[in-house]
Structure 1
Amino acid sequence: MSGLIGVRGWLLAWLALVAPLALGQENLGDYAVQVPLSLSGEGPWYRLELPMAVHLAARHADLRDLRVFNGDGEAQAYALIQGGARERETQQDSAVKWFPLRGPLHAEQSPGVRVRRSSGGTLVEVLDDDAPHAAEEVLRGWLLDTSGIEAPLHQLILDWSAEREGFQRFSIEASDDLQHWRAWGEGQIARLSFADERIDQREVRLPGQSARYLRLLWSSPRQAPQLLSARLLSGGGDRPAALSWSADLSPSSAKAGEYRWDLPLALPLQRVRVELAEANTLAPVSVTGRREGKVQWQPLARGLLYRLPQDGQEVLQDELELHGVPVQQLRLRVDERGGGLGSAAPSIRVGIRATQLVFLARGAPPYVLATGKATGSAANLPLSTLIPGYDDQRLAALGVATAAPLLEATAGTGQAPGRDWQRLGLWAVLLAGVGLLLLMAWSLLRARPSAS
């Protein structure tokens, strides 16, 4: 009996020593794609904006097979900041009052305004002080009273009378006293109908600053529409989520009015950008998607894509919202009554929410980002664990890592993914040891009757 217990003890000791070597060791050679990293700024923590090419090269959409190794082949501690985590903050949707700004058609100066308020604080009158009242006076734009919104302004949403179709371009100016105005760029809204499709582009992005008044002045005053509503989205930190875009993707199949693209894995796509190679293009389109192995196509988006001249400039609408639905195959159908998208098959770019990787640099450089391991399991830490006392300000001050273009990345050891001969050798030693111990135990058990 004591001999058998001794054999069992040797067996457990052997497993304790050899199994961690075979099972727990991260090996750079297991990863099919290896991308060199260059570091700048102050460490030891570095943050990296993951290129879309890394997402496409991974074997898992949740990046569980992502690692960072140092020059000695040691895996580094890291955290992932998933895209959109900081953008989903509370936002306020506020309806505001609007007032017409009238003036001479060919006036070079912007209309001056004067505001009078009642005891309740309501804006009751807007006058044009600088322009004389004349027969050629036209509607040149609109004044929005945003004084009731204290938070930064991020998006303007307009609605206007139905008889006005086409593109509407205007400049945006902001003021706190109606005397001094600062430029906030330009806005464009559109209402187009074609065949059985209609597109309303009513949202205009704002710079995320506060203002008591907004002034919208139309580039072509005769085209200024009658507003029906004006709303503003505001919030302390609300802003559009940053996207990571792919390179141009060519279709895997193409026929008249229908194109299909196959991705390496299912990704939660937020937007798709369709190449409009030819000018004067107008095409209603629909986008559907599905995962690998699924027969049914799922509707994702419908819209009107265009590349058209307007007031001496070119207006372009080449993107569609996909809302983060995970798909591996995309299909674009084009209504050929609009002339299609041209003679050549279009390429597309797809965008997903940007993801940051933060790692703690330990050991000797160079550092390598690795992915593409089929049996990968998640190893990322919470950011608060990786960086004690973490906050947004500290994150912005971290050193920066930059990934080399994926086409220039090293391809590893040249072995197939998962074919690591060192690990296979450890497994062989482990199995041989177990077999030897089992043989010894069997021999002891057979020897017991003769010994008695």
Structure 2
Amino acid sequence: MKRWMLGVLLLPLAAHAGDDYAQQWPLQLSRPDAGAYRVTLDAAVYRAAYWRDLRDVRVLDASGKPVASVLQARPDASAGQAQHVALHWFMLPVTAASQDSDLSVLVQRSTDGAVVSVRSGAVANNDVVTASAWLVDLGKDSTHMHALLLDWADVAQPLDAGYRLEGSDDLRNWRTLDPQVRLVQLRNQGQELRSNRIALDTPPRYLRLLPLQASPAIALRAVQGEWRAAAGTNNWQWQPVPVAAGTPAKGGFDYHSDGRFPVQRVDVVMPANTSVRWSVLSRDADAGTSAQASMAWTPRAYGWSTWQLQDGASTQTSPPLDLNTSISDREWRLQLESGDLPASAPTLKLGYQPASIVFLAQGTPPYVLVAGSAAAQNTQDAVAPMLAALRARHGAQWVPAVATLGPVSPRAGSAAYTPPAKPRDWKTLTLWALLVLGALLVGGIAFSLLRGKSQSAGQ
């Protein structure tokens, strides 16, 4: 009896022990004080994942407790990470920066157009901190800049200074980009408000900021440019897929992927001077499992023309196939439609854009990303609505801080891939036990009555 009770008490502990993960990665945070972070998944995470929907890829705090997170499978332009680059800037006297001045005689430029120095008798380069106008060189890729970020030395008094932002492509002809931008620094009861970001819309290469009124000079220390790469534009990752073990498919070749990659494109490396048309099929069974032989293949594309032409030193190849969807199947097949089947299997490559996880800084850091658990359950997402509201309120300029994956290390290992035993239906077992017990009781009573009748008849 005691042994049975002990087994029942240990059932919850056994279920919890199976809810662990195969591998883990420490997360390195770009900022220690951010409320939300975004980490991009690499190929090793996809290889470690068990479920095709990546439900077993989570972020845990130092105590092993999951933090609120959401998987963002499709990168988009609004989710691109903001990049910052230091810009060359120069102080100008107000007279040299007037509306009608010709800055071509005030600056020295290199052959590629970069401003090297300001040649003015009043101000040279950044030697005079009392200058109240600035010249900024955005560089060749100026149209990619979304904003200027200005950093200045703290001021004792409240600061609210207005500037006119002008732009030029040649330092001769200037046009007004923004008639009034405000630089603000205010303090109240230990709180500080600083407005030092100036939004830009496809600006020219050269900018200058001219004061609108007489005010104490700002001791500018640095100027940065902010630009945002459109995530997913050139972020394609390609995984070569080996030919599956065993006999090749009749009239084609089978391949086995070792990860849950969200495949969106397929490419193939053909032998020189060949041209073949394929059907592309996939399925989810793992190679070597008993379910592989019975699971049907799903067609993904028909009539895919692949070729390679070797013309002297030039090699021309067919373009990749766009699947127009995301497929995380592990088994892939190239089925011959027309042409000659190559003597050896061509190299198959699966293309995907890596997903990312946005998580909140809950619990106690440091944080780790874990992957690989057959026992992982689906969790209800509560982060995506918050992210949508923040982007609606602040626009594309709001993005979570960056977190990066550290070196991988084992956690529970291969044991995490063993599906947990199905929990026993104790209610049903109890009902059956009562039925059996009742049947035995009825049988005992019947046997007792029959025995009593036989004894009476013998007397």
Output the TM-score relative to the length of structure 1: 0.45
Output the TM-score relative to the length of structure 2: 0.45
State which structure, 1 or 2, has the greater radius of gyration over its C-alpha atoms.
Answer: 2
Higher percent of residues as strand: 1
